[in-house]
Amino acid sequence: MATKYQPPKQGFVGQLFDIAVLLTLVFGTLFLPIWLEIATPSRVRVLPDGVTLEEQEAADGTITQVWEGLTWEAIGQNPTMQAQWEKLGYTLEGTADIVTQPFDYTIDVGGLAITVLVIAGYFLMMVMFSRKEYREVIAEKFD
């Protein structure tokens, strides 16, 4: 029978390195999408035909929006939708501000591919570094 498996002892520097790598991956995963959202916003105003929007800045620095040709029908809202918007406390202008800025749900294939490669590479690296330990554990349990 094989000798009992003794896991290798990791030094303090190795533990700090592991912590730094994991924290970098976690923060990168959480904050990179936010940073990219700021760099390339996913909401871009799309005005329907016949509707214009002009932003005017007052002397005190406040910005007001002036809509031209704005109707419920122009922004694609029927009377039932209009009633629901009004129940929520929205005016025509407030609704138009939301409706004319749809979210862009397109998937960045390049970014997705890079993410998949990084995750797969990380797990492949872990398996390759741990190959000897995995074999020892399997030998202890099954030989």
The Cα–Cα gap between 4 and 13 comes to 27
The Cα–Cα gap between 19 and 81 comes to 52
The Cα–Cα gap between 4 and 47 comes to 71
47 domain-assigned: no
- 86 and 114, same domain (yes or no): no
**pLDDT per residue as tens, the chain (143 positions):** 557 777 778 899 999 999 999 999 888 888 887 777 666 666 788 899 999 999 888 888 888 888 999 999 999 999 999 999 999 999 999 999 999 988 777 777 887 888 889 889 988 988 888 888 888 888 888 87
2 domain-assigned: no
Domain extent at residue 133: 107-143
- 72 and 89, same domain (yes or no): yes
Residues sharing a CB contact under 8 Å with residue 50, sequence separation 6 or more, in sequence order: 69, 74
- 31 and 65, same domain (yes or no): no
141 domain-assigned: yes
pTM score of the predicted model: 0.49
Helix (H, G, I), strand (E, B) or coil at 1: coil
DSSP letter string, 16-77: HHHHHHHHHHHHHHHHHHHHHHHHS-SB---PPTT-EEEEEE-TTS-EEEEEES--TTTTT-
1 domain-assigned: no
